[in-house]
């Protein structure tokens, strides 16, 4: 490869290697660099052999191998390595060159890095890349944000390598300024945590309440994947449940029940707290991973507390249908909550997010890809300023339809001592969401009673604050009526 390369890539781990091969297969020449340079040589002699890929042994050599404006993409571990590489790349750049971070970086870092790189006269893109190993190779979902002027220079490469839906629409478009791309990827991951948690609760319900064996569970998920729950995560769950270990036992049974996490779900929960958005399902799914990780404590508690005896004697097929509705209902809530957070973030960070386009970016390639995202896209196409997904006619009807079965599943689970945190928290959210009046009146009275925090009245205009001397002993001084 003698001519200059279209793009440079740093980081030849699983995602990096596969993305390079994907780019090359779409006709782009790529220069690659990795901190341990033996990996570069191995790649060039192995999977990269005979391809339009140039191996380099230093950041300087990598940058010198690129066509201008230079595009240097990093697929390295989020955190300090990203900052370190930015500082190594910058001395070799010229005005207008572009640095791209394709890792799972925290959006606040991406906001800071965009400002920093721009202050040096260059451009920065922070892009979400979803789809794991296979996605990176065959077509991931990509969510770029950052320096807007950089987008036309990478658009062709990104949209060529990304997944396509509906006969060729790329699952990649410009998301917005500074950290917008990584924010949308963070929400994607939060939703991924939620979907996975919902599925695991359904699995436990099938196994422990309905006493289904692995083959039955496999068949059920396979069937679910042909209807409204059609999605990548349901599809792989069906595969996983059918997988047997060497001794013929279900592989899943041999796996320790302690969930890992790299942090993006937790960031989503923290961000929901920060912006005051009730993101209960995703938060529960993060907490459930924490609880699963407390193996020793759970072991001790299991010896102290007796589990209720499981007494389900109803119609199994009927309950399975209810379970499907519970999964669907919870999923509706999860996405509605995720979009609620996106809407608040769009205002807070001035991003002007395009909600339908985001659904389209998630329709293919990524871990949460599903038929369902097509319905979300339609809802926002119909009404781009829809205030909440559940207020769209389609979602309204679906959530109504899911209710009866969903309630029955939660009731049976609670009676039988089966934890269903995401199925039940989402139902509780729905019941709160559809309530014109909540018991927060009493809460306000309590705040006013002990701290003179004041309250507003139902029979007076909003914005007027009152205090009652509940005990007859308090003074007239009230606390400031500000809300965090």
**Residue positions in the annotated binding site for substrate?**
104, 130-132, 188-189, 193, 262, 289, 447, 453
Q: Is 261 in the site for ligand 6PG (CB under 6 A)?
A: yes
State the residue number with the nearest CB to ligand 6PG: 130
- Phi first, then psi, for residue 435 (nearest 5°) are -95, 125
Peptide bond into 22 cis (omega under 30): no
Beta 53-55 vs 176-177: how paired, if at all? unpaired
DSSP character for 306? P
Q: What is the 3-state secondary structure (H, E, C) of 408-467?
A: HHHHHHHHCCCCCHHHHHHHHHHHHHCCCCCCHHHHHHHHHHHHCCCECCCCCCCCCCEC
Q: Which is nearer to ligand 6PG, 265 or 405 (CB)?
A: 265
| Residue carrying the six token digits 């064996």 | 213
For residue 242, give the 3-state DSSP assignment.
helix
Cβ contact 196:422 at 8 Å: no
Cβ contact 86:126 at 8 Å: no
Catalytic residue among 54, 185, 207, 331: 185
Catalytic residue among 24, 39, 54, 192: 192
Q: What does the per-residue mask of binding to ligand 6PG show for 56-95, with x meaning CB under 6 A?
A: ----------------------------------------
Q: Which is nearer to ligand 6PG, 96 or 263 (CB)?
A: 263
Q: Is 367 in the site for ligand 6PG (CB under 6 A)?
A: yes
Indicate if 253 belongs to the active site.
no
Q: Is 260 in the site for ligand 6PG (CB under 6 A)?
A: yes
- Residues 28-57 contacting ligand 6PG, CB under 6 A: none
Q: Is 366 in the site for ligand 6PG (CB under 6 A)?
A: yes
Part in contact with ligand 6PG (CB under 6 A); list of ranges 257-265, 332-340, 433-441, 467-475: 257-265
CA atoms within 13 A on the CB side of 72: 34
Part in contact with ligand 6PG (CB under 6 A); list of ranges 67-75, 129-137, 149-157, 403-411: 129-137
Residue from 18, 22, 34, 104 touching ligand 6PG (CB under 6 A): that is 104
Q: What is the rounded CA–CA span in Å between residue 434 and residue 296?
A: 40
Q: Is 189 in the site for ligand 6PG (CB under 6 A)?
A: yes
Residues in binding site? 11-16, 34-36, 76-78, 104, 130-132, 188-189, 193, 262, 289, 447, 453
For residue 370, give the 3-state DSSP assignment.
strand
Within 111-225, strands assigned E span 123-130, 141-146, 164-165, 169-170, 176-177
Indicate if 192 belongs to the active site.
yes
Residue from 131, 146, 170, 329 touching ligand 6PG (CB under 6 A): that is 131
Q: Which residues bind ligand 6PG (CB under 6 A)?
A: 104, 130-132, 189, 192, 260-262, 264-265, 366-367
Active site residues: 185, 192
């Amino acid at each position: 490869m003698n001519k200059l390369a279209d793009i440079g890539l740093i980081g030849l781990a699983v995602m990096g290697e596969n993305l390079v091969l994907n780019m090359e297969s779409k006709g782009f020449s790529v220069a690659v660099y990795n901190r341990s340079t033996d990996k570069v040589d191995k790649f060039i002699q192995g999977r990269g052999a005979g391809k339009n890929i140039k191996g380099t042994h230093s950041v300087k050599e990598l940058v010198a191998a690129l066509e201008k404006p230079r595009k240097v993409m990093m697929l390295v571990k989020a955190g300090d390595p990203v900052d370190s590489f930015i500082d190594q790349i910058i001395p070799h750049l010229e005005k207008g060159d572009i640095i791209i971070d394709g890792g799972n970086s925290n959006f606040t870092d991406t906001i800071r890095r965009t400002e920093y790189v721009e202050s040096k006269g260059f451009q920065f893109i922070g892009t979400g890349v979803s789809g794991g190993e296979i996605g990176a190779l065959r077509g991931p979902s990509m969510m770029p944000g950052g320096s807007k002027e950089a987008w036309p220079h990478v658009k062709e490469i990104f949209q060529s390598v990304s997944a396509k839906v509906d006969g060729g629409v790329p699952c990649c478009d410009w998301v917005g300024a500074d950290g917008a791309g990584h924010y949308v990827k963070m929400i994607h991951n939060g939703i991924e945590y939620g979907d996975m948690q919902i599925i695991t609760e359904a699995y436990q319900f099938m196994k422990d309440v309905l006493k289904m064996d692995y083959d039955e569970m496999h068949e059920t998920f396979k069937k679910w994947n042909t209807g409204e729950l059609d999605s990548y995560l349901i599809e792989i769950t069906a595969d996983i449940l059918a997988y047997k270990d060497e001794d013929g036992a279900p592989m899943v049974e041999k796996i320790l029940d302690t969930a890992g996490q790299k942090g993006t779900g937790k960031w989503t929960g923290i961000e929901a707290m920060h912006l005051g958005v009730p993101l209960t399902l995703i938060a529960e799914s993060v907490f459930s991973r924490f609880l699963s990780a407390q193996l020793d404590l759970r072991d001790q508690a299991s010896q102290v507390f007796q589990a209720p005896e499981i007494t389900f004697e109803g119609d199994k097929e009927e309950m399975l249908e209810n379970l499907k509705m519970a999964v669907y209902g919870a999923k509706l809530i999860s996405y509605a909550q995720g979009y609620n957070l996106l809407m608040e973030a769009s205002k807070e960070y001035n991003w002007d997010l395009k909600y339908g386009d985001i659904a389209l970016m998630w329709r293919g390639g990524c871990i949460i890809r599903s038929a369902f995202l097509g319905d979300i896209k339609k809802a926002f196409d119909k009404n781009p300023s829809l205030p909440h997904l559940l207020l769209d006619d389609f979602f309204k009807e679906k959530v109504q339809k899911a209710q009866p079965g969903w309630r029955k599943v939660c009731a049976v689970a609670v009676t039988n001592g089966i934890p269903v945190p995401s199925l039940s928290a989402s139902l509780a959210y729905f019941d709160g969401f559809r309530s014109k009046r909540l018991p927060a009146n009493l809460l306000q009275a309590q705040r006013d009673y002990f701290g003179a925090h004041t309250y507003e009245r139902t029979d007076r205009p909003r914005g007027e604050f009152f205090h009652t001397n509940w005990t007859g002993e308090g003074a007239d001084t009230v606390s400031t009526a500000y809300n965090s």
